[in-house]
Structure 1
Amino acid sequence: MRDHVSVVGIIAAGGAPPVARFKEGMREHGLVEGENVVFHKRIAFGDSTKLAGYAQDMVRLGVDLIAAVGAVTARAARAAKTAIPIVYSVVVQPAGDELADPSGDPLANMTGVTTFDDGHAAAQIALLREIRPDLARIALLSDAAVSDCLRNASMSAAQKAGMHAIDVRVVGPEPDLHTAFARMREDGTQALVALENPIIGVHAAQIAERALSQNLPALFALEQAGTGGLLSYGTSLGQAAHRMARKASQLLEGRAAVELPIETLRCPDLVLDMRAARRLGLTVPPGVQQRAARIIQ
């Protein structure tokens, strides 16, 4: 057991589950809440306007480390212009989000775990096309508060696949989903990719229900499995947050962020929701079912 009590600030843009996984990882590295570590948590539940204030809270509290879940969260922590070490997870493109130097190396006081996979967006589209071979028009639904990194990658993948894609952005904390889905209807959208963004995760069940009501097969991030979308695909946000704990432990031991290379975590899983398939009247090919790590009946 460590004899020093560390104070760690945790900020998350979305919900609480990744925070719990981070704390679990910290316990595995000998940092036990109530014994040798104190956590100060701030969770925005999709309201990214709160993040700058949360980062300033951590500076005022004088924490030893800031753990940021999500790129928009890490950017808010960096904008606080503090020398406090920052560790992050659930970041797609650290350099693109200005969370690493252009070569991809850590910044002076910031390192973390990225889930970047340059084939991810193409894999999403391929999955939807396997289920709906006539798919030609899709919508990309995203959180307007986050950077364009994920949007751009998804739009590029759609264009390379010869598809027409529209970029539909919503704003938290209460996104205007009515207008967003009206735009999809007007454009003739045939399927929806709900990007892995904070406000999308918080409102996943509502988004999935609207998609079903418009007969749209919807693909969500893995963490939204079970909320009603047909497919959930990607690397677990919880696993990324759990992996972040190792770097957090090293920073608290006195290691410098620049000594800890940014780690890439790629372990995508697929969850198939047959309840949604039945409501959509779709037959899911055996190949897709066989690739699913879990099938919700």
Structure 2
Amino acid sequence: EARLWQAFRSGLRERGWIEGQNILIEFRAAEGNTARLPELAAELVRLKVDLIVARASIFVQPAKEVTSSIPIVFLTHADPVGTGHVASLARPGGNITGLAVLMTDLAPKGLELLISAVPVATRIAVLWSPDTPSHTPALKAVKEAGRTLRVHLQPVGVRTAAELEGAFAAMARARAQAVLVLIGPIFFAERQRVAELAIKHRLPTMSTLKEVTEAGGLMTYGPNQEDLYRRGAIYVDKILKGAKPAALPVEQATKFELVINLKTAKALGLTIPPSLLQRADEIIQ
């Protein structure tokens, strides 16, 4: 995560905002414990900050509940309209705006690429969390894609890290041949554990965040996070100079990357098709 916030700071510097000189950044982190988010959001409001940056979808709601006046900028929102955080992408209409990574588009593409990596797979588990709002529409989109691709999907819902081991055991019992991971706070915080369990049960994984593949997952197809964080600084700059969030359209990710971990492929006894390797933006050896 440090490199992402470095990209955000770089974006601010490019627009003349130097931390410690003309801007002060108050960081608050839930450390994977989402129950702390309301408390952290309330603390920022008490500090009378000029603007709140909320990294992803799940961080926006607690901030929204404690302020309707302080501008909120999100950096990687998976479903800003569906969650009611903005009225529309073109005209957000409230105190919230930012950058979107629509999971309903991304997850089906991930499924398609996972099948390209494991062509024999006809039974694919989908690891998701009922507590992550964007996962419900994303799961629906994945099911539609599954019907088109003629694969059987096995959704496995997880609410806490303690449920992960049982979830992967259930996938193995159901004879799943691969796993599509819908990224949320739990799976991001527990990415090392997810990767370890997937290898233990010999299940190739596809997710949307590069960090999961760096932790040992097989593949990632998702937005270039550094680009989104750098672009997020543009929203901060505009708002601090007087622009209203209500009139700043939500922009979508434009740079995507395919990352493949060949070390994990070897551990799984899997040979990645050369055509897919040629499409990869990064290969982890």
Both structures adopt the same fold (TM-score exceeding 0.5)? yes
Are 1:194 and 2:159 counterparts? no
SS of alignment partner, residue 43 of structure 1:
coil
- List gaps (5 residues or longer) in structure 1: 1-14
Contact 1:95–1:104 (8 Å) recurs in 2: no
Match of 1:62 among 45, 48, 51: 48
Contact 2:75–2:100 (8 Å) recurs in 1: yes
**Distance in 2, Cα, partners of 1:19 & 1:144:** 28
- Match of residue 209 from structure 2: 222
CA distance change for structure 1 residues 202 and 228 in 2, over 3 Å: closer, same or farther?
same
- Between 1:22-31 and 1:256-265, the stretch displaced more is 22-31
Match of 1:204 among 184, 191, 212: 191
- Match of residue 128 from structure 1: 114
SS of alignment partner, residue 40 of structure 1:
coil
**Distance in 2, Cα, partners of 1:195 & 1:103:** 22
**Distance in 1, Cα, partners of 2:259 & 2:280:** 5
- Match of residue 280 from structure 2: 292
Are 1:164 and 2:116 counterparts? no
Match of 1:283 among 271, 276, 279: 271
Query: Structure 1 length normalisation: TM-score?
Result: 0.88
Query: Structure 2 length normalisation: TM-score?
Result: 0.92
Amino acid at match of 1:264: Q
SS of alignment partner, residue 176 of structure 1:
helix
The correspondence of residues 80-91 of structure 1 with structure 2, limited to 5 A, is 80-91=66-77
**Distance in 1, Cα, partners of 2:146 & 2:65:** 33
RMSD: 1.9
- Match of residue 75 from structure 1: 61
- Match of residue 237 from structure 1: 225
**Distance in 2, Cα, partners of 1:47 & 1:160:** 37
- List gaps (5 residues or longer) in structure 2: none
**Distance in 2, Cα, partners of 1:214 & 1:261:** 44
Task: Give the drift of 1:102.
Answer: 4.8
Amino acid at match of 1:82: S
Q: How many residues align?
A: 282
The correspondence of residues 95-114 of structure 1 with structure 2, limited to 5 A, is 95-102=81-88, 105-114=91-100
**Distance in 1, Cα, partners of 2:195 & 2:250:** 33
Name whichever structure is richer in helix by fraction: 2
CA distance change for structure 1 residues 117 and 104 in 2, over 3 Å: closer, same or farther?
farther
Match of 1:256 among 216, 224, 244: 244
Amino acid at match of 1:65: L
Match of 2:169 among 182, 191, 197: 182
* CA deviation string 1:150-175 (max 9, x = no partner): 33333332233222222222234x44
